[in-house]
Structures are given as C-alpha cells and as structure tokens.
Structure 1
C-alpha cells in the first residue's frame, strides 16, 4: 500500500489521520496479528477494491478494509518473535530450548517502555511454543527470571514484567521489593529470600539489612496479619538476621518460646509450616517446654503425617527415646489409636535397618488388622472418592500382605480376609486381588470368597438417606469429576513424552480411582434395597435393631444395627454386614455372642432388644 493509497484512505475517513503511520506499515510482506483472525502475513493491496489481502493461519487470501484494521490489527516489526519464528525457526527454537530468559528479554524489547503484562507475554508464548506446551515452559522460566538481574518480576499476576535499563543484583531487587510493600506476610517471605544470599554481601548491605531487621521485628511483634506459624517463621528469620549482624536476639519479642507457649495449638501450627521447617520446630519445642517436651513430641507424632512423621521419630531417637517409641507404637496399636499416616510410615520402613529395632516386632497379622481398621475409618470419614494412601500401598506392594501374614495361622488369616471383604475402603476388584494373595498363602480362604460372592448377589439393605447420598455422589462423579479428569488427561497428553510426564501419570491415576468408584457405586446401587427399618422386631436382633449387651464384668454396651452404608462407629452404629453385625443377627435376649479379635475372645450376653424406629420417634 503506497503513500497515494494511504492519502486516499485518510481523505475518505479523516478520523484515520492520527493512524497514518500504522496505515503506512501495512505493506505487502509484513506480518501481523489480528484480534479475531490471529497471526498472518499481508500479501497484497487491491487498489481497485481498496482492500488488503492477508493470509491468516486458518484463512488464506482474506480481504480486509485497512481502515477497519487500524483498530483490530497489529503490524509486527521484523524482529518480533512471531516474525522470527517464521523467518528464523531454528534460532527461535534455540532460545526456547536453551536460552529461555533471553527469549523473554527479546520479547520485552517489543513493548513500549520495555514492559509487558503476564497476559501479553503468555499470549505470544502460546503462539511461539504452543498453547499447551508453553505452560510448563513458562512455569520453569519464571523461576529463572527471579534470578535474572535484567528483569523486574512482578509480585502479583496483575503486575508488569519490566526489562531494566541497568541490571540490578538479586539482593538489591529483594530489598527494593521489601521496602515497597507494607504487607507483613510479604515482608517475611522476602526477608527469607534475602537471608539465603545476604551473608555473601554482608559488609556492603549491612546498613540496609539493619533496617530490614528493625522493620521485620516490628512486623512480627505488631502485625495481626500473621498466623502463629507465620509469626514463628518470621521470628526465626528475624533471629537469623540478628545473629548475622551480631545483634542480641534476647531483645526481641515475641520470642520463639512465647510463640510456642500454646500447647493446644501446636498441631495446627506444625501443619501450616513448610515441611523443611517442621524439624526445626521440634527443637524449638524442646527449648520452649523443658518439662514436658517429650510428651508433646509423642502427641505430635501420633497425629503426624508425611515427612514430619520421620522428623518426629528421628528427633525422639536422637534424644534417647528409641525404646519408648517402640513401646508407644505397640500401645497405640492395642488401643486402636495408630492413625493411617503413622501406619503408612511403619509399612514403608519395615525393611529399614535404621528403624528395625522399633518396628520389626510389629510386622505381624495384628498390624494388618490395624491397617484394615484405619482404612475403613478413613473411608467412613469421607463420602468422596479421595485416595487413601495406606490402601494404595497395600495394593501396590505385593510383598506387604505375605510379610504381615508370615506368622499367621489359617483361622487368623480367614478372620483378616473377612475383615477385608467388609472393608469400605476398597473397591470390589481390589478386594479380590488382595484376597488372591491370602489364598496363595492359605487356600482355605477361597471358601470365604465364594460365600461373599453368594451374599453379594442377594442385594444390599440400605437406608433412604444413605441411598440418596450414594446417588448424589455418583451424579457428581459422572457429571463433574470424570469430565474434568478427562480434560486434564487431554491437556497433560499435549505436554510431551508420556513416560516422563508426571501431570499425565497423576491424571491417569486419578482416572482409575474415579472410574473404579463409579463402577462400585453403579453395582451397589443396582443391588440396593431401601428399608425404613420398620420390619425389625423386639424378639430377635435384625436390621433396624438396637441391641444392648453385657460383658462378663457387667459392663453395658449398646449397638444399633442399620443398613450396609450406615456405619457410624463413633455413635455405636454398625452395618449388618460387619463381623459384629453378622454375629448379632438372629440373636434373642439371653443369647451369648462371642467376639474374637486376634487371639482374644470376649463373651457378651444380649440384655435387651429394641426397635430403632421406636427410639427415633420417642
């Protein structure tokens, strides 16, 4: 489009006079981005039709009015990344693969004032790298940009990436960001970053670090924004800065001891701390509670999970309490207080030489019973299809069941297999797979499996409330969770090599859990028979009965027998399918019930039988 054509367009539309330079840039051969049609190249200008001819990615030879394009199309400079991708694909690919920060520098040079928003950058990256692949690349590159002195990285997504006129050191950038914010939380985060490198530049930064120490100490002391965990973390950083600058930490408040004074809140505080700082918290607790720190640490161990379980064990061992750990774990097992995460730690470390003295004696059938109890409890606490790690490892570790059954007799194995069949933490196919491992060691368990298959074909008695809850969960799976997972799999597949693609593997694992849960719900709902428990009588125990029992010492306990999905152990409500529920069915007043758990037998006598529906009405 020559000067004459531009003049003619402006004469027809005088309001375009201010856009003369843009019109003049619409020359054949130049590349462009249109807000609707995307990336393209101007091929020609038809003077007779007064239209530009543009080849877009999905529409070749598209004809457009130059005046209309002024507000909807950007003509790209020859050194723009998208243009270079067309003309120098190898050079751009080298930037993408080997020089990611250089690519961002080149990109920022294209913008006015060398500044661009996250949205603007991502829009170009999606075209240069690909709409799916760029996300992983951009996540990794942002970490590199934080260390690049040429680029100012925004603290928030709404901020701008800026190419500096002169590079600054990482420490200078952190100090600049620290002084620019009034947020106590943000100051703690930035101070921690600065602490990692400040020691190498102590003399040149001493005055600025002193000011930061003062303001950080004020934030920890006075801010209401900080949680207890954040306040503890801030106090640690404050103290580390003080030691770096030879300042007496005793002058600061609150001290670490004061922050950790609330024993009741320590569980929540530990959970909120980063995993790499939880071990440090144990040392601080010992210093803060010299009289009862050991008891506190054992209580934290009891409720611990993940890496913190190992931290607790190691800390107690270092302080000479190895034998007490062993005794405590066995006591918790006896009391059925071994929680799922601690059990998970035990089975994962059962072959560890370091912990052999602590847990070797626990690797026996009784531990498998504790595992089943914990899995069943976790399943009852959640109506969703969330994974239970302890159940996963029982399925995935093919040596675990043989290891735990190594000292079992056939009757114990059969009891444990029956507990597995009644467990609500496994889907049916997984149960059969695990039972196959029982049967390989104890062939008599096969009869239990055949009996269970016969019983399953007879249907499930369930309450209306539990039925509706199961229907609601199935609808949520089919309409929301499974479609979302399918989308996640498709997106993850685009990221490349599936063997090394963690996003794809996780999405596929989630798919297996979701599909298994759906299949189980569909099968169970087909067999379900809703009952209102009105058919129960007071002459013998059945589904819908409230049974009171007396043990040999005269102690009284009451159980309510309800539907297959109505178990609530905390309130003494049991499913008719549980071992206890089965043993009570058909019993009358005066009958004895023998409960066998491992090698221990308890004799109970039925004292009375009432109807659940009568008690609810009253």
Structure 2
C-alpha cells in the first residue's frame, strides 16, 4: 500500500480495500482503460480527488479518482501493455530476435489466450511496422508451431492458446488435435503428428487415444463433407503407417467403407479436390 494512502487507512478515513485499490492508482503504476488503452499514472492529487494518466491514446488525461476507480484496471509493470509504454524498444528488439518469446509474453499478459486479430492490434504498428507485419507474422507462426509452446489456429478470429509448459512434445501435438474445431484442423494436426512421429516413441498411448475421436469425426463428416472425411481417414492412415507401434483396429472406419457407401457422382467430385497423394490412396 502507498504510504500516503496507508495514513488515510490508519486514520480510519477510508477502508483498507479502498486503500489497496487507491494505491494501484499511485504515480508510476500502470492501468488499462477500455477506450484509451494502456496508461501510466503520472500524478495524483489526493485532496482534490484527481489523477493524471498518460494513456496510449490520450496523454495527460485528468480523471476524477472515483471515475478512475470504475473505468480503469491495474496491470503489473511486466505486463506486455505496460512495456509498450516504458520499454517499447526492447519489445521491438525481441520481435526481431525471438518472436516466439514476444508472443508468449503477450499471451501471458492476456490470461494465456487471445485471437489473431487481437494480437495484430497489440503488435502491428507499435512493435512491428505495419507494412512488415504480415511477413513477420507468417514467419512467427511457423516458429510458434515448431516451438510447440502455443496452439496456433487456422483462422485469425480463433484464439492462440499458450500451452502448459510441463507438456512433452507428444502431448503438445495431441493437444493440437484435441483443440481442433473442425475437420480441417484435425487433418492439419494429424499431418503434424505424422511429420514428427519420433516424438511418440515412448508415448504411443497418447496416439491410440485419438483413434476413436477420428472415427467419430469421419462418420459425422461423411454425411455432409465427404471429401474432408476421406482426407481425415487418409491422414489417420498416414500416421498409423509411420508408426510401427500402431495398427488399425478391425472396427475402425476405413477408406473403403466411405467409398462404398458414397454416391458415385459425389465421390468423383469430392475425390477430385483431394491432394494427389491422397487420391492415390483412394483409387
């Protein structure tokens, strides 16, 4: 608690919880405002019940203390948004040298997840030049996936999620599959698993858990998205084929099952959209 505020609490002029909140608005602290963005408290006038804050989008903003209580949220000095105010050059350097660490720090400051759109708003312009952002983000996404520290979605409107640091590489790959929101995401996750099958050398059970989920997903997709169902089963077969410890369960859905039950004209159209390697698996 700030010393000036502690005196008010000790004198019984304000309750302790109010004093703790008031101390968050002491000069040198950082806060967030819905419209003005992040800000640093520059000065306060306790007798006059006013506080002055330099916000990102409104420098020298003078507020009534009661209004600041209600409309701002305290953030720690190591929060990404606070560092944009005090240590912007350090963030810019980090964006060049270690974009994965920069993004992990950003996610940590947002409770472990945020959408790609929200990430762009935080970084583009201030930390990475707007003209360079797309190129930077494309290379950063690749590095994020390789690091396995973050679940990277296909769409900008979906959330990037910071992984539990205690997960093994195999657990991280399985988590990507489990986090997939649609068949396309499941296919991408299976492709990543097949490409890094060595990570499962001592964790085959983690892969076996996926097989039932793949079966269920393929059955549902076959009714309305035959092409994606075919791709999903083909991707599963690629994973099984890349691991000596896995084999297809006798009751599992097979490509032949989907082909035999599909409308022939629909099958031709859907199969024609598949990658050539998977077309060969079907034909």
TM-score w.r.t. structure 1 length? 0.37
1:3 to 2, 5, 17: 5
CA contact (8 A) 1:27 1:44 kept: yes
CA distance in 1, matches of 2:85, 2:220: 57
Q: Which residue of 1 aligns with 2:233?
A: 235
- How far off is 1:97 after superposition? 1.6
Q: Which residue of 2 aligns with 1:149?
A: 148
Q: Which residue of 2 aligns with 1:161?
A: 161
CA distance in 1, matches of 2:248, 2:81: 57
- How far off is 1:79 after superposition? 2.1
TM-score w.r.t. structure 2 length? 0.73
Within 5 Å, which residues of 2 pair with 1:193-208? 193-198=192-197, 200-208=198-206
Q: Which residue of 2 aligns with 1:42?
A: 41
Q: 1:67 to 1:127 in 2, by over 3 A?
A: farther
Matched, 1:26 2:35: no
CA distance in 1, matches of 2:53, 2:195: 53
Within 5 Å, which residues of 2 pair with 1:56-95? 56-57=55-56, 59-95=58-94
- How far off is 1:76 after superposition? 3.5
Report SS of the residue matched to 2:203: helix
Note the alpha carbon deviations across 1:316-362, whole angstroms, 9 max, x for none.
xxxxxxxxxxxxxxxxxxxxxxxxxxxxxxxxxxxxxxxxxxxxxxx
CA contact (8 A) 2:108 2:162 kept: no
Report SS of the residue matched to 1:272: coil
Matched, 1:272 2:269: no
CA distance in 1, matches of 2:45, 2:17: 23
- How far off is 1:81 after superposition? 2.7
CA distance in 1, matches of 2:90, 2:141: 21
CA distance in 2, matches of 1:26, 1:165: 33
2:113 to 108, 113, 116: 116
- How far off is 1:18 after superposition? 3.6
Report SS of the residue matched to 1:166: coil
CA contact (8 A) 1:108 1:163 kept: no
- How far off is 1:102 after superposition? 0.5
CA distance in 2, matches of 1:92, 1:192: 33
Q: 1:259 to 1:209 in 2, by over 3 A?
A: same
- How far off is 1:253 after superposition? 4.9
Tell me which of the two structures has the higher relative contact order, counting C-alpha pairs closer than 8 angstroms and 6 or more residues apart: 2
Q: 1:160 to 1:284 in 2, by over 3 A?
A: closer
Q: Which residue of 1 aligns with 2:98?
A: 99
- How far off is 1:133 after superposition? 5.2
Unaligned runs of 5+ in 1: 289-618
CA distance in 1, matches of 2:200, 2:18: 54
CA distance in 1, matches of 2:47, 2:251: 84
CA distance in 2, matches of 1:33, 1:21: 17
- How far off is 1:51 after superposition? 0.9
- How far off is 1:35 after superposition? 2.0
Within 5 Å, which residues of 2 pair with 1:357-396? none
Q: 1:159 to 1:272 in 2, by over 3 A?
A: same
- How far off is 1:72 after superposition? 1.4
- How far off is 1:235 after superposition? 3.0
Note the alpha carbon deviations across 1:429-478, whole angstroms, 9 max, x for none.
xxxxxxxxxxxxxxxxxxxxxxxxxxxxxxxxxxxxxxxxxxxxxxxxxx
Q: Which residue of 2 aligns with 1:174?
A: 173
- How far off is 1:209 after superposition? 2.9
Unaligned runs of 5+ in 2: none
Note the alpha carbon deviations across 1:355-386, whole angstroms, 9 max, x for none.
xxxxxxxxxxxxxxxxxxxxxxxxxxxxxxxx
Note the alpha carbon deviations across 1:123-153, whole angstroms, 9 max, x for none.
5335743694586244543443333333355
Q: 1:4 to 1:185 in 2, by over 3 A?
A: closer
- How far off is 1:225 after superposition? 5.0
Note the alpha carbon deviations across 1:494-532, whole angstroms, 9 max, x for none.
xxxxxxxxxxxxxxxxxxxxxxxxxxxxxxxxxxxxxxx
Report SS of the residue matched to 1:61: strand
CA distance in 1, matches of 2:103, 2:21: 25
Note the alpha carbon deviations across 1:165-217, whole angstroms, 9 max, x for none.
42431x3123235457796665444323312211x245313333344345534
The higher radius of gyration belongs to: 1
Q: 1:226 to 1:204 in 2, by over 3 A?
A: farther
